[in-house]
Amino acid sequence: MNISRRHLLILLPAAAVAWKYVEAGTPEASPNYQMSEHWWGMLINIPKCIGCGNCVRACATENDVPDGNFRTWVERYHVTDTNLTTPEVISPDGGKEGFPVAQEDAGKYFFVPKMCNHCADSPCTQVCPVGATFISPDGVVLIDQTYCLGCGYCVQACPYGCRYLHPTKHVADKCTLCYHRITKGLTTACCEACPTGARQLADLKNPNDPIHEFLKTHPVQVLKPQMATGAKAYYYGLDGSVR
Amino acid sequence: MNGLKDAGHLFRFAGLFVVAFLVFLLVRGYVVPKTFGQYGHYRGAAIGEIAQHPVKFAGHQTCEGCHSDIADTKTKGAHAHVNCEACHGALFERLPAPAQPKGNLYERFVALIVPPAPPDAPLLLHADDPATVTPVKPDTLVLCARCHTASAAKPKGFPQVDPAVHMGGVPCETCHNPHSPAMGSDAAASPATGGAK
Amino acid sequence: MNGVVGFMYPNEYALQWSILIVLYPFITGLVAGAFILASLERVFRVEAVKPTYRLALLTALAFLLDAPLPLQLHLGHPERSPEMYFTPHATSAMAMFGYVYLWYLMAVLVFEIWLDYRRDIVILSQQSKGLLRVIYKIMTLGSNNISERSLRIDDKVGWIVTLIGIPSAFLLHGYVGFIFGSIKANPWWSSPLMPVVFIFSAMVSGVAAVMLLYMVTTRLRKLAIDMRCVDTIAMYLFYIFIIDFSLEMLDLIHRIYEADESFRSLDFMVHTRLLIPHIVIQICLGTLTPLVLLFLTQVVHFPEAVRKRLYVLSGCLALIGIFAMRWNVVIGGQLFSKSFLGYTTYKMEMVSREGLLVAIGLTILPLFFLWALVKLLPPWPEKSLHQVAAGD
């Protein structure tokens, strides 16, 4: 079953109408995209990730992410069976060009794609002194780059290292969950480019989103739950050693 | 009465505060964006502006609108769930950016302190103009290796080969059709040609 | 890979907050500390420190005028900083900055200085010539009333302003500590003790700075240093320093004993990258040494010349120690990965907007402000108003 495709076939005609309003800069006026009807998140299926770096490259292309910064990146963990809590982690250039070949040894390997968790109680929006970053009514943490001072406080406040200061725009920058795509009924660039379906956009408010079948039947976890950020990037198959 | 007279200078100082406060209120009313506070403590119009960013990955459903033959081949094979742009990438070209209008005095002053970021180039998508924006056929030796090079780090069930041993420099599409990679499948006889109908 | 050891999240390689953000809490700390010293005389009637009263106020004002500059230079878009006033975000610790700053600058410092100097200003506005006369005229706000009664009112109001000023000074600097202490993502910062530690370290640095400034300016004016005054300041410095050091050690011991998930990572950092700035400079050189020296001056009766030298030495060491403390908080808090698996390096730039030269300039700048303020509003008590009134 192609989840994203079926999902999109339902949404596609609606999106065409919504697009008119989105283009006018008033997506809230769109009869087909109602912010109040969505609550966006992401499902990341760790056993499916092969560390190809497609998502990182796609994100950089779609969003013009500057070199050396990442809206999404992939980490490779290596955990030995004698030391389960201190993993050896690498993420060369954010995993953009994939990972070096690993040899079988005493331990397990797995890849962890990371991105903005679009927290419902996000510490980054809490600390913004002027209201330049915010949680949209449909649950996406966004930055108003025409209003941001570039003070960097939000970068300090994010426990996951998802934010950075844009080197030429001099403002904070981060994953928008491809807000310009999901409001048009498309999926995010990283999900579109993922060859194995390890990442899936999740509309937690839409009961027709097939993601709910998965969430109902599988154990999922968020990163750093002790931070109580209300993270909405849900991980399936997350190892306890992941930070 | 005398007491008030001797405290008169204090009222002058307080008056400064009142004047400053009134000026502040006046300026504030003028400069705070109109949509600020529409949904919360932020500029409501920012949501619409972010939603307007250009799309580069057209989405597989857009591709399938024209390339239905490939889509049919794909649905039968192991790559059925691999979206077109996972391998082909986003097909677009950047057009030359139009000349920026010279900013007003304030904008030019700000540019002295903070060099403005270069403007975003307008885009032309293959989906909008397939004749002008033409795709480059991916090199399968590089492309396929990205996912299928054997590594202990990859999930065990995922098909992976050691490129040096497996094909010795022969391009993958010699034996496999990337759109339906199992060998011997009828699609393999007609290698990936693509092309819109 | 450019100074990175172990694993860092890829966006963490570069530090967001540079030496300018180290400077900022250091400078506001001097402001708060200097003001608290001034309030000793005004509110708590410690007559011995009277010679430093006006100097302390002007020092506080000079450094307060400098305080926002490192922040402005650090911002990606300084031109947008008025947004802090127009749309301050209620949930942000930083949003308070603008209002706390303005309140402290205008309602406390400028108002108190104006009240205290009003008689001088009126007299000077009548005696001086040219541009100075215009400046003094403006500063009188058009009121030449220096009757006995009005001055008594000034004195009373000034007392109330100082009384409000003490919590304001605590607020100004306590909130700077809160900006760091409230970041739950960063275990090196996240601590409810942070604001308190910041306040007491601010008092240490401010009191030490005013003490040094008093001794230097008195020497420059070829006058005798009032030893009773300096002895008293040194005594207060010693006691505040003990509280400050106890709080910092409490924080440290608590971290070591609790040894939470971040402990190994932070412990490693303190033993490697922060060894020199934290253990050697901050704790040994900048805290323990001046504490021992000040302790000796309290229990041993040294001759005057020795005491002076010990005060100068411990004052300088205290300033170095407090600066190192700010450095270790701001820079130290960004050297380790929030994954607790790696460390990066701070590469200080030299001539850029956030470079070392700018930082040095911004440290010296308040001394120029102070020089101008002293010229405009002479703080020396011995040059009394009557002499001024009599044409000096």
Interchain CB distance below 8 Å, B31 and C82: yes
Question: What is the pLDDT, as a whole number, of residue A79?
Answer: 95
Put simply, whether C89 touches A (Cβ < 8 Å) is yes
pLDDT at B99 exceeding the cut of 90: no
Give A189-225 pLDDT, tens digit per residue: 999 999 999 999 999 999 999 999 999 999 999 999 9
Measured CA to CA, the distance from residue B93 to residue B130 in angstroms comes to 11
Name the β-bridge partners of C285. Answer: none
Chain C: residue nearest B5 by CA?
A: C150
Interchain CB distance below 8 Å, C147 and B12: no
* Residue A90 phi, psi dihedral angles, 5° rounding: -135, 155
Indicate the pLDDT class of residue B100, thresholds 50, 70 and 90.
confident
Mean pLDDT of the A29-35 span = 72
Interchain CB distance below 8 Å, A170 and B57: no
Centre a 10 Å sphere on the Cβ of residue B174 and count the other Cβ atoms it contains.
Answer: 10
Put simply, whether C259 touches A (Cβ < 8 Å) is no
What are the chain B neighbours of A48 within 8 Å (beta carbons)? 155
Question: What is the pLDDT, as a whole number, of residue C98?
Answer: 87
How distant is the Cα of A225 from the closest Cα of chain B, in angstroms? 26
Interchain CB distance below 8 Å, A5 and B154: no
Contact between residue C96 and residue C88 where contact means Cβ atoms under 8 Å apart: yes
Put simply, whether A193 touches B (Cβ < 8 Å) is yes
Question: What is the pLDDT, as a whole number, of residue A17?
Answer: 47
Question: What is the pLDDT, as a whole number, of residue B3?
Answer: 60
Indicate the pLDDT class of residue B98, thresholds 50, 70 and 90.
confident
Question: What is the pLDDT, as a whole number, of residue B185?
Answer: 57
For residue B15, what is the enclosing H or E element?
helix B8-31
Percentage of residues in chain B having pLDDT higher than 70: 91
The dihedral through the CA atoms of C316, C320, C325, C326 has a sign that is positive
ipTM: 0.91
Which one-letter DSSP state was computed for residue A221? Answer: E
Question: What is the pLDDT, as a whole number, of residue A233?
Answer: 97
Instruction: Give the count of domains, chain C.
Output: 1
Q: What's the CATH fold of domain A3-51+59-69+118-236?
A: Alpha-Beta Plaits (3.30.70)
Put simply, whether B39 touches C (Cβ < 8 Å) is no
Question: What is the pLDDT, as a whole number, of residue B118?
Answer: 85
Residue ranges of B 12-51 with Cβ closer than 8 A to chain A: 33, 36, 39-51
What are the chain B neighbours of A8 within 8 Å (beta carbons)? 59, 61
pLDDT at A154 exceeding the cut of 80: yes
Substitution target from A99, A156, A171 for chain C, most C beta carbons within 10 A: A156
**Which of A99, A73, A100, A77 minimizes the C-alpha distance to A88?**
A77
Put simply, whether A192 touches B (Cβ < 8 Å) is yes
pLDDT in tens, chain C (392 residues): 578 999 999 999 989 999 999 999 999 999 999 999 999 888 888 999 999 999 999 999 999 999 999 999 999 999 999 999 999 999 998 898 889 899 999 889 999 999 999 999 999 999 998 999 999 999 999 999 999 999 999 999 999 999 999 998 888 888 899 999 999 999 999 999 999 999 999 999 999 999 999 999 999 999 999 999 999 999 999 999 999 999 999 999 999 999 999 999 999 999 999 999 999 999 999 999 999 999 999 999 999 999 999 999 999 999 999 999 999 999 999 999 999 999 999 999 888 888 999 999 999 999 999 999 999 999 986 554 444 444 33
The dihedral through the CA atoms of B103, B109, B110, B111 has a sign that is positive
Facing residue for A131 by CB, picked from B41, B59, B80:
B41
Interchain CB distance below 8 Å, C89 and B36: no
Give B24-68 pLDDT, tens digit per residue: 999 999 999 999 999 999 999 999 999 999 999 999 999 999 999
Mean pLDDT of the A127-147 span = 97
Interchain CB distance below 8 Å, A170 and C80: no
Indicate the pLDDT class of residue A165, thresholds 50, 70 and 90.
very high
pLDDT at B89 exceeding the cut of 50: yes
A partners (3+ CB pairs within 8 A) are B, C
DSSP C168-223: HHHHHHHHHHHHHHT-TT-TTT--TTHHHHHHHHHHHHHHHHHHHHHHHHHHHTT-
Mean pLDDT of the A9-32 span = 50
Question: What is the pLDDT, as a whole number, of residue A102?
Answer: 93
Residue the block writes with tokens 């192991």: B78
Structural domain boundaries of chain A?
A: 3-51+59-69+118-236
Question: What is the pLDDT, as a whole number, of residue A72?
Answer: 98
Put simply, whether B34 touches C (Cβ < 8 Å) is no
Measured CA to CA, the distance from residue C90 to residue B106 in angstroms comes to 29
DSSP B162-187: -HHHHTTT--GGGT-BTTB-STT-GG
Put simply, whether A110 touches B (Cβ < 8 Å) is yes
Indicate the pLDDT class of residue B74, thresholds 50, 70 and 90.
very high
| Cβ-proximal residues to A28 (8 Å cutoff; 6+ apart), any chain | A34, A35, B44, B47, B48
